[in-house]
Amino acid sequence: MREFDLIIVGSGSGNSILTEEYQDLNVAIVEPGTFGGTCLNVGCIPTKMYVYPATVAREAEDASRLGVRASVDSVDWQAMRDRIFTRIDAIANGGLTYRQSLENVSVIQEYVHFVEPKVLETESGERITAPHIVLANGSRVQLPEIPGIDLPGVHTSDTVMRLDELPESIIVVGGGYIAAEFCHVFNGLGSKVTQLNRSERLLRHHDDTIAERFKREAALQWDLQVNRSITGIEQAADGKLTVSAAASDESQQSWEGTADVVLMATGRVPNADTLNPEAAHLDVSDSGLLAVDDYQRVLSNGQPVEGLWALGDVCSPYQLKHVANAEARTVAHNVVHPESLRATDHRYVPSAVFTDPQIATVGMTEQQARIWAGENNTEITVKEQRFGDVAYGWAMEDSVGICKLIADKSTGLLLGAHLIGKDSSNLIQPLIQAMSFGQTAQQMARGQYWIHPALAEVIENALLGLDLPEQD
Ligand SMILES: Cc1cc2nc3c(=O)[nH]c(=O)nc-3n(C[C@H](O)[C@H](O)[C@H](O)COP(=O)(O)OP(=O)(O)OC[C@H]3O[C@@H](n4cnc5c(N)ncnc54)[C@H](O)[C@@H]3O)c2cc1C
Ligand SMILES: NC(=O)c1ccc[n+]([C@@H]2O[C@H](COP(=O)([O-])OP(=O)(O)OC[C@H]3O[C@@H](n4cnc5c(N)ncnc54)[C@H](O)[C@@H]3O)[C@@H](O)[C@H]2O)c1
């Protein structure tokens, strides 16, 4: 049995806990895959490196509305792909080499699983243990069991960004974050995109106003097929893939579509099961997440296991990098400061969907807020402010963007903020700040200057439009 002071399983956000305070500890980092994890290699970063050029191309094509005649002559997918991954692969390789160069760190490039509490075994049979073990082994793609799912040409977010050529046509299956972002990427870059979604609704966890508006905008940009459940994929001799789908709504007929590439964007599942959590008697939720308390301590029979921590997608329902990073900061502190444990603040977790139009959200949807208000004997006020009604929105001739705010009438505190439209992922930040620090909508609207005529005036006007009494 090899003994360490600390074992970190997974090199995504787990890798970031090694601050200066850890330099005298004997640490093992276990990473069987590409060093740096999902966000760097197959997630947030490469996707956004495709989203940006796709947005540039879309804006060029859309510019004639403003009297600017521009066109996209061609898109050099291979140059784009090589630029993106030359940069990313160097960071991943550099991260691995750096960790391997440290005297106090051993990198173990194998999967591990529990054989007993606090004891892990590698694939080659070596047993390792430590007083502190951090489980940061993320999540993986979830695929439906349908005929043809293993055919070449059927991709997931793990592989589609490394295609040799921009596909002429692509069918994207799913209606969540990944589907929304890749529909924009491939549509913006010039592929013929079809999105196939099982239910009527896209972005099912978003506020109704935003989800409906996105659906409208998506259908204007690419072929959107809703209420269609994928049943199988077949490949013809020329390599083309035919996707079959059953109607999930009685009023519709079954559907078939053909494309060069199929992208399955049907969700991700936590990797808790791959750790053999039963051998360590760890609690796992119905959705497959490792159970943790507010201090990121892993639970066994509802009680924290001493020295066992988890962070990120393996234990977090959010599946977001900024949450994994926040949880990693909590663990980084708590492992070396057991006398003053910190909790992770999960109160106002925002997210953005980098599609076209961009979407950003924090807090309760209107529906959730109405239920909350009923339970808490209060009322809510809701304002939908169109981007097109502020000066910068006029400049953009915007007919899409909305900032929807929901506040508690009795306190003036914001309960939720939901944006769709240009730069939403940035515009939402002051609203997240106000919610996090307990500022009221009135304080936020009138306690500061808003730059005129910046697009942020849409936030100011939305705040002023809430039905709230004036505050001094
Ligand atoms: C296409 C895509 C786009 C995304 N875009 C965004 C975005 O824009 N914004 C955002 O906030 N989030 C985004 N996410 C989500 C984000 O990437 C994840 O929430 C985040 O990376 C999770 O970090 P983690 O440290 O928990 O896990 P990971 O980074 O996945 O790290 C886990 C590591 O553990 C390793 N591992 C797995 N099992 C074992 C085992 N048994 N033993 C040892 N090691 C193991 C894996 O190889 C992996 O490297 C995106 C995800 C995807 C897939
Ligand atoms: N910008 C971001 O923050 C960002 C971007 C990408 C991914 N992510 C994270 O990655 C996670 C995974 O993204 P995702 O889009 O794969 O998941 P998701 O849960 O957002 O969406 C999954 C979609 O697949 C559909 N689906 C599931 N099973 C299906 C089946 N058998 N047949 C047909 N459709 C099926 C669901 O109805 C849903 O529409 C998200 O939870 C998100 O947090 C975040």
pLDDT for 464 equals 98
Residue 426 alpha carbon to ligand 1 centre in Å: 23
Cα three-residue angle 21-24-29, rounded to 5 degrees: 85
Burial class (CB in 10 A: 0-12, 13-18, 19+), 107: middle
316: Cβ below 6 Å to ligand 1? no
407-451 pLDDT, tens digit each: 999 999 999 999 999 999 999 999 999 999 999 999 999 999 999
Ligand 2 in reach of 178 Cβ (< 6 A): yes
Q: Which ligand 1 atom minimizes the distance to the CA of 113?
A: 41
pLDDT band at 14 (very low <50, low <70, confident <90, very high): very high
- Whether 92 has a pLDDT exceeding 90, the answer reads yes
pLDDT tens digit string along 190-216? Answer: 999 999 999 999 999 999 999 999 999
User: Is the C-alpha dihedral spanning 108, 109, 114, 115 positive or negative?
Assistant: negative
pLDDT digits (tens, 9 = 90+) for 93-104: 999 999 999 999
Confidence bin at 363 (pLDDT 50/70/90): very high
Ligand 1: distance of its center to the CA of 38 in Å? 4
**Which atom of ligand 2 is closest in space to residue 354's alpha carbon?**
1
Query: What ipTM does this complex have?
Result: 0.98
Task: Please name the residue whose Cα sits nearest to atom 43 of ligand 2.
Answer: 319
* Alpha-carbon torsion (267, 319, 431, 470), positive or negative: positive
Cβ(369)–Cβ(417) under 8 Å? no
pTM for the model? 0.98
User: How far is residue 302's CA from residue 287's CA, in Å, rounded to a whole number?
Assistant: 16
Q: Which ligand approaches the C-alpha of residue 313 most closely?
A: 1
How far, in Å, CA of 116 to CA of 277, rounded?
9
Cβ of 8 below 6 Å from ligand 1: no
- Note the pLDDT of residue 99: 98
Predicted confidence (pLDDT) at residue 108 exceeds the cutoff of 90: yes
Does residue 89 have a pLDDT over 90? yes
* 112: its two tokens: 């591990």
Ligand minimally distant from the alpha carbon of residue 33: 1
138: left (phi over 0), alpha (psi -120 to 50) or beta: left
The 10s digit of each residue's pLDDT in 177-196 is 999 999 999 999 999 999 99
Please give the Cα distance from 269 to 410 (Å, whole number): 40
Q: What is the pLDDT of residue 252?
A: 80
Q: Is the CB of 138 under 6 A from ligand 2?
A: no
Hey, which of 42, 156, 159, 177 would you mutate to test ligand 2's pocket, going by the most ligand atoms within 8 Å of its Cβ? 177
Which residue, by CA, sits nearest to atom 15 of ligand 1? 320
pLDDT tens per residue across span 381-416: 999 999 999 999 999 999 999 999 999 999 999 999
User: What is the residue-averaged pLDDT of the chain?
Assistant: 97
Please tell me the predicted confidence (pLDDT) of residue 110: 98
Tens of pLDDT, residue by residue over 24-77, are 999 999 999 999 999 999 999 999 999 999 999 999 999 999 999 999 999 999
**Ligand 2 pocket member 356 (CB < 6 A):** no
Of 112, 130, 140, nearest to 279 by C-alpha is: 112
**203 contacts: CB under 8 Å, gap ≥ 6:** 175, 176, 177, 180, 210, 211, 214, 353, 359
Q: Which of 157, 321, 351 to mutate to test the pocket of ligand 1 (most atoms within 8 A of CB)?
A: 321
Q: Are the CB atoms for 117 and 280 separated by under 8 Å?
A: yes
Q: Exposed, middle or buried by CB within 10 Å (0-12, 13-18, 19+), for 17?
A: buried
What residues act catalytically?
452
In the reported structure, the alpha carbon of residue 22 is separated from the centroid of ligand 2 by a whole-number distance in angstroms of 36
How many residues appear in the chain? 472
If pLDDT is split at 50, 70 and 90, which confidence band does 244 have?
A: very high
Ligand 2 site, residue 57, Cβ cutoff 6 A: no
Output phi, psi for 108, to 5 deg.
Answer: -110, 115
Whether residue 42 has its Cβ less than 6 Å from ligand 2: no
Average pLDDT over residues 148-152: 97
Residues 155-177, mean pLDDT to the nearest whole number: 98
Tell whether the model's pLDDT for residue 250 goes beyond 90. no
Across the range 249-272, mean pLDDT stands at 94
279-315: pLDDT as tens digits: 999 999 999 999 999 999 999 999 999 999 999 999 9
Question: What is the set of domains in the chain, with CATH numbers?
Answer: 2-140+269-336 (3.50.50.60), 154-266 (3.50.50.60), 357-465 (3.30.390.30)
Flag whether pLDDT at 249 surpasses 80.
no
Counting ligands in written order, the one closest to the CA of 351 is: 2
Ligand 1 center to 8 CA (angstroms): 14
For residue 146, the ligand 2 atom closest to its alpha carbon is 31
Instruction: Tell me if 259 sits within 8 A of 241, measured CB to CB.
Output: yes
pLDDT confidence band for 248 (50 / 70 / 90): confident
Residue 453 CB coordination number (10 Å): 13
Q: Kindly report the backbone phi and psi dihedral angles of residue 83, in degrees, each rounded to the nearest multiple of 5, phi listed first.
A: -60, -50
Strands in 402-408's sheet, in edge-to-edge order, are: 351-353, 359-363, 414-420, 402-408, 380-386
**Listed residue (74, 466, 132) closest to 310, CA to CA:** 132
Q: Is 144 in the pocket of ligand 2 (CB under 6 A)?
A: yes
Q: What is the largest CA-CA distance in the chain?
A: 73
- Closest residue by Cα to atom 27, ligand 2, is 266
Q: Compute, in angstroms, the gap from residue 293 CA to the centroid of ligand 2.
A: 25
CB 290 near ligand 1, within 6 Å: no
Task: State in Å, rounded, how far the first CA of the chain is from the last one.
Answer: 66
User: Could you give the CA distance from residue 72 to residue 54 in angstroms, rounded to a whole number?
Assistant: 11
pLDDT at residue number 188:
98
| Pair of tokens at residue 384 | 């939908």
With the most atoms of ligand 2 within 8 angstroms of its CB, the residue from 44, 52, 146, 266 to mutate is 266
202 CA closest ligand 2 atom index:
39
Spatial separation of the C-alpha atoms in residues 419 and 363, rounded to whole Å: 12
CA distance 138 to 14: 9
- Cα separation, 305 vs 276, in Å, equals 16
